[in-house]
Amino acid sequence: MSQFVAVIDPPEALTTQSVSGTLWSRSSSISCRVHAVNRTPTVNTVVISCLGDVGVAVDRRYQITGVVEGGAADKSGRLRVGDILLRVNGTCTAALEYERIVSLLRSVDGILELKIMASHGSSADTAGDESNEGAVPQANLSPQTGELQPSGTDHKKGLRKLRAVEFDLPSPTSGIQSNGMCVQTSRSHSKITRRAQSIAVDGRPGSTMLRRSFVQLRNWQSDKRFTDTLHCRQQTVQESYCHRSQCQGSIMYPVGAELKSVPGDVRHKEEVVEQAEAFLNEYYESLKKRTDSQSQKKKLEEQQARRMKEVVAQVEMTGTYDMDEKELVFGAKLAWRNSPRCIGRIQWNRLQVFDCRHITTGKEMEAAIRHHIKFATNEGNLRSAMTVFPQRTGKRDDYRIWSPQFFRYAGYKMEDGSVLGDSADVELTERCVELGWNPPKEKGQFDLLPLVVHAANEPPRYFDVSDLLLEVNFKHPDFQWFEELDLKWYSLPAVSNMMLDVGGIQFTAAPFNGWYMGPEIAARNFGDSYRYNLLPVVAERMGLDTSNNASLWKDRAMIELNVAVLHSFKEAQITISDHHSAAESFMQHIEKEMTLRGGCPSDWVWIVPPISGSATPVFHQEMLNYKLKPSFEYQEPAWLAKRLSDKDDPQAAVSRRSSKLTLASAARVVMMSMSMFSPHLMKRAKATVLYATETGKSERYSRDVANLFSHAFAVKVKCMEDFVFSDIEYEQLLLVITSTFGNGDPPDNGESFGRQLYQMRNPPDDSRGRRKVSSGIHLGFTSTDNDNKDDSQPLANVRFSVFGLGSRAYPNFCAFARSVDKLLGELGGERIYENGQGDELCGQEESFRKWVISCYEAACKTFCVDANLKDFSDALATSSKEWQPDRFRVTVRSKGEVEEMNVCKCLSDLHKKTVFPCRLISRTNLQSENSPRATILIQLDTQGESQLAHEPGDHLGIFAQNQPSLVNQLIKKLDGAPHADEPLVIEFKVPVKDHEEWKLFDRLPSCTLRQAFSQYLDITTTPSPQFLAVLASQATDPDEGAHLLELSKGMTTYEDWKFDKCPNICEVLDQFPSLKVPASLLLSQLPLLQSRYYSISSSKSYVDGEIHCTVAVVSFRTRSGNGPLHHGVCSSWLNRITKSAVIPCFVRRAASFYLPEDRQAPVIMVGPGTGIAPFRSFWQHQKFTMHQPQFAIAANGDIPEVQCNTVEEAGQAVKHWDMALFFGCRHPDLDHIYKEEVAELVQEGVLSKAFCAYSRDPNQPKQYVQDQLKREADYIIQKLLKESGHLYVCGDVSMAADVTKTIQGVFREQAGMSDDQARSAVEKMRADGFYHEDIFGVTLRTAEVTDRVRNAARKAWNIIVQSQEDVSKTLVPTPLMTQNKKETMKKKLKVVLEFSVVGLFIVIVFVAGSWH
């Protein structure tokens, strides 16, 4: 029998007016009840009634237009008006006629599976989306039990709006004995069961009267509807205080809702565990949403299970448990989010939580509250904050704040019964007087009360807060007499007497603040008759008739009071919101919450503003009021709770008093000490310094920053790859220092962090799949503008600043740092100081110093830290002078004491990456014997190491060794050095109790001096300013010491010295011969020798077990060609080692430079000189796939797919790329590397075309690869634009910039594009992954290029510095400068700086491009 009791004909057969009764279908004799018929030009809508019945509209798609109350669809809440019916029992409806749909519905027997697409704008549209907390998977309504149960499958389809729902619809004659729901959420898999009453069903269609599980909420203004599902799904929903016969919605404290906070009245252990479990479920679910890694989710589940065991054990032992700080922060924010009476909750994620659970005394409470007020007031730019004091334990008095708010005005009860001041605070005023507070001699309306706090087992104490008060004196923009009323109010509304109830723990003192909504002051504090009752006063001054209510004098007076309040706050530049804006933002909050959680608990009585209610959108919005945990709870006044406690248990009070008396003398000493040092014992704000580096410089800068910031913050330093990313939203201050690798990519140890940050901003969905970091993490964020952005601002509480290191010789200067800076800002982080950038060509040290000083000043201001900037500047100047002769020493060990270490293992430990040994098979010079230069092809044996597997385009990282002659020279210059080949260790002195001990300094492994300088330490790089400062202390000649100190400042003098001489450490010791440098100094302070990267020139498919690299051997003279000869560390080492020598190396992935997955896509490769290196791996891979007839293989060369017997069959089975090579070199007979190999490839068809440009051929004009590209413009247009080909460019940045300009020119001239269109086309190719670049910097190998680039950089740097000074002088900010003026100033400065930077890059590219 059909599960539907009715079907209908196409709506065209129906009338256009609303009807009711019974309609008989022409195609069947099954009756149905028609509720409404509505005809529009495009959609015919019919609503029908049955058990679980849906209405279907026909407009080439079938749309749900109504859900009958009481049916299975209604009870599930998963079918909603406007949803599109996609499939019926697996059959797609899009291609079916209406009659076929009717037939399908009539033939259903058993489970009816409806697959729908949620309507746009529905509050739960994202059901099925991984980011949706409210997602509910398929469920079956059992006709036997009436329960909606999990179907056992959790479908997540590719389309974001897609979800699947199953209903087993009972026949009309089936009786439902009970109705219930058991929902298994798609993310947590936790079951939540809510039982409804047992109801009999009479079997008539549409007559069931089941209690609604989900509630549909309507906006009567827009007719938009939401379905609140949160109150049915949430484990932490509390019982309602309303009953069938009464509603307590308008009662301030509903019966049963008030908390009589008696100290010692703690929850039962079972209740604590139950609430803790529900809270931890929510907490860990929030963490799982931040990752799409199944392994990470599994780790979180295991972590949750361990955490729950810890909680249960602690509760069993003590009756309560301790939250960690992250749980507390999450719970505090969630409590605000759950507050049904708060209209300003849209800011819930920006709540700053101060964890003060370590505090034990009233004096410490005072210090914490003072810090809270300073932070929250923020000179008028108010910030929401909460301070959490110790929890209730039952073993001591509660921590309480007597005052309902931090700031309150006294209320004096006069002899005639009237009240002077605030009537709400009469009792509090009396309590303050009892405690010893003396009111002013001349009492007034606005006498500020002291703040009363009560620490556990201490008597209450009060303190004055007038020095922290930011008051607003009110005036009216139109009424001059208004100022004569002498009205004022405090600007910070900080509620301090409520309890934070989270995870079963009660925090009885947890003051929090937001900012005022105008009517809170004007309509309530001033307007209420039981407060200041100012409406008659204002009306009288306005000349209104107060004797007649019909004159609306109260309304008019109240409006003018609101006008005055808003006007005065804004004139004082203090944060406030008007009620219309607050209501609109709350409507946005509701929509966002319905999407994210499927509900938003709201108390309509409180949400609707006290004036102009119906003029605000919230008035017309139906709301559902329910109570979730965590929450804020009302408490009895603290003084009443104290009295109740002592009255109910007098023995306990005596015991507490006697306990105090027993330890009175000791307590007085402790209290005195704590009062003296409490400002210093306050928990410092936490700061985390993250770094990512290729050479180690970012790490050195990070440690300098940590040492400096430790003057005022609790600092930790982390490498990005070691940072637990899920902790990022709980960071208070995040300082990021990072370099940029290659063409704007993150360094190796920053790639994971960059990817996770990018995915947090742009969550992957099933339809798009996971994006690669390289397509969106740099290059101006061309890929971040999509429809799937996360706008929840999870980093709203993170303050941050970023400093980038790089070289303006690269086109994407500091791109990764700029990307991180932008992503952190878009995720809600507050940028305390603008992104700093240090150019290694000029002014890097000076840029860093300016950034770190400004950043420290901004951080201290942000976190209300009193810090001496002079001390900080002095510390900055001496930050790297940590080395002292008596702190470090070198100890020689016998060979028997030292275990011989494997070099690759030592390098792995040093650099925190796995390094593998390869052996040199052969080395071939690819250039002519007559060439003055050398380019070598090295072939390495991977010795079967599977982790050295690589793809075409990847890089090989090689750890080389320094020149032996340079090592010997350095050893000879050391003062008192041990024998070069004796094993040694470095030790440093540390204080231990009352003495000092020598500890192992494990920076380097146990090795000889020769090994350290050869394999582990960098002795060729020019020493940094910080290192020169250390050397200055070892100079015996005062002039040399002074010169070194001047260089150590890192200013222009250092830059000129560095670029003129490019001195290594040996040459520095030669220049300053008075230096007496011990071995311990160099071993502990020299930077580590970093790996060098080379593009892999082979395919693992073509030469299995081998890796080939194409290496240009580097050597050059400094000082304009007249200085000493310098050799490239790695290239010269590779050129001198013998066959079978061990080469420590590892593979670095370069996914953005891989061959396209589409084998039919054309591939154009541009690579002059050694830029041809990665393309050799491309054509080897292509050659293997084309010339191995026994296999037709996949694009990555791994998986055999089709067996072939001939080359022709293989070519037919596997499409191969249409590859063209554009190569450039100097002379055809000297340095045309791989010339014969390329010629053979063209002949074989592996390469379709090969072009070569010669720049030093005397028989023809100079030509570069750009010229060849112009000459083949038609070919370029055909392959790149018409056939959607891929362009690969490898080489130095000047060449890459010229190629980009050339391609743009070809697009402009051959495709008829404008300049902007051509530029956009190239950028789109980059963004879409069709334009690939593997770029290395300008090769500064000749005096000519060095001087030109250096001079250009210096000139541009001077322009930037001068521009900064000019703009600063012209636009000096003042304390009263408006935000708009500040923004204008920043924009003007930014324009000047950008102009200067662009000019710098143009000069560098022009200069470098003129040399090939």
Q: Write out pLDDT tens, residues 128-138.
A: 333 333 333 33
Please report which confidence band the pLDDT of residue 1108 belongs to, taking 50, 70 and 90 as the band edges: very high
Residue 500: its pLDDT value, please? 95
Q: Is the pLDDT of residue 1073 over 70?
A: yes
Cα–Cα distance measured from residue 1086 to residue 1126, given in angstroms and rounded to the nearest whole number: 19
CA-based nearest residue to 270, from 261, 281, 278, 282: 278
Cα–Cα distance measured from residue 376 to residue 521, given in angstroms and rounded to the nearest whole number: 19
Please report which confidence band the pLDDT of residue 1352 belongs to, taking 50, 70 and 90 as the band edges: low
Take residue 681 and report the two structure tokens written for it. 């014992």
Please report which confidence band the pLDDT of residue 595 belongs to, taking 50, 70 and 90 as the band edges: confident
The SS3 call for residue 137 is: coil
Query: Residue 900 carries which DSSP code?
Result: P
Cα–Cα distance measured from residue 1078 to residue 1089, given in angstroms and rounded to the nearest whole number: 20
Cα–Cα distance measured from residue 265 to residue 285, given in angstroms and rounded to the nearest whole number: 31
116 and 9 Cβ atoms separated by less than 8 Å: no
Residue 1100: its pLDDT value, please? 94
Q: Is the pLDDT of residue 775 over 50?
A: no
Q: Is the pLDDT of residue 283 over 50?
A: yes
Q: Which CA distances in Å does 234 have to 79, 183, 596, 1204?
A: 20, 10, 13, 60
Q: Is the pLDDT of residue 1359 over 90?
A: no
* Mean pLDDT on 1099-1106: 93
Q: Which residue has the higher pLDDT, 1014 or 201?
A: 1014
Q: Which residue has the higher pLDDT, 45 or 651?
A: 651
Q: Is the pLDDT of residue 769 over 60?
A: no
CA-based nearest residue to 227, from 67, 61, 43, 62: 67
Residue 1402: its pLDDT value, please? 38
Take residue 249 and report the two structure tokens written for it. 């919605």
Phi, psi torsion values for 80, nearest 5 degrees: -135, 155
Q: Write out pLDDT tens, residues 360-394.
A: 999 999 999 999 999 999 999 999 999 999 999 87
Q: CB 753: neighbour CB atoms within 10 A?
A: 26
Residue 490: its pLDDT value, please? 97
Residue 1310: its pLDDT value, please? 92
Q: Is the pLDDT of residue 690 over 90?
A: yes
Residue 1188: its pLDDT value, please? 65
**DSSP bridge pairs for 24:** 31
Q: Which residue has the higher pLDDT, 258 or 355?
A: 355
- Residue 479 contacts by C-beta under 8 Å, 6 or more apart in sequence? 541, 542, 560, 564
| Mean of per-residue pLDDT scores for the chain | 77
Cα–Cα distance measured from residue 131 to residue 358, given in angstroms and rounded to the nearest whole number: 36
The SS3 call for residue 1140 is: coil
The SS3 call for residue 146 is: coil
Q: Is the pLDDT of residue 587 over 90?
A: yes
1009 and 971 Cβ atoms separated by less than 8 Å: yes
Q: Write out pLDDT tens, residues 1183-1230.
A: 998 866 544 444 444 444 444 444 444 444 456 899 999 999 999 999
Cα–Cα distance measured from residue 943 to residue 949, given in angstroms and rounded to the nearest whole number: 11
Least trusted range by pLDDT, from 281-290, 453-462, 762-771, 1111-1120: 762-771
Q: Write out pLDDT tens, residues 16-40.
A: 232 222 222 223 322 233 233 232 3
* Mean pLDDT on 790-811: 82
Q: Is the pLDDT of residue 896 over 70?
A: no
Residues identified as active-site: 342, 345, 515, 520
Q: Is the pLDDT of residue 979 over 80?
A: yes
Take residue 902 and report the two structure tokens written for it. 């494997």
Please report which confidence band the pLDDT of residue 503 belongs to, taking 50, 70 and 90 as the band edges: very high
Q: Write out pLDDT tens, residues 71-83.
A: 555 655 666 666 6
* Mean pLDDT on 720-730: 89
Cα–Cα distance measured from residue 950 to residue 698, given in angstroms and rounded to the nearest whole number: 28
Q: Which residue has the higher pLDDT, 1412 or 1391?
A: 1391
Query: Residue 520 carries which DSSP code?
Result: I
Question: Any idea of the CA torsion for 656, 657, 659, 661, to the nearest 10 degrees?
Answer: 170
Q: Write out pLDDT tens, residues 1235-1282.
A: 999 999 999 999 999 999 999 998 889 999 999 999 999 999 999 999
Residue 1009: its pLDDT value, please? 94
* Mean pLDDT on 500-515: 95
Q: Is the pLDDT of residue 1092 over 60?
A: yes
Q: Is the pLDDT of residue 1340 over 80?
A: no
Positive/negative CA dihedral, 974, 976, 979, 982: negative
Q: Write out pLDDT tens, residues 210-261.
A: 334 678 899 999 989 888 888 876 666 776 667 767 787 788 777 555 555 5
Q: CB 1120: neighbour CB atoms within 10 A?
A: 12
User: To the nearest whole percent, how much of the chain has pLDDT over 90?
Assistant: 50
Please report which confidence band the pLDDT of residue 760 belongs to, taking 50, 70 and 90 as the band edges: confident
Least trusted range by pLDDT, from 700-709, 858-867, 1380-1389: 1380-1389
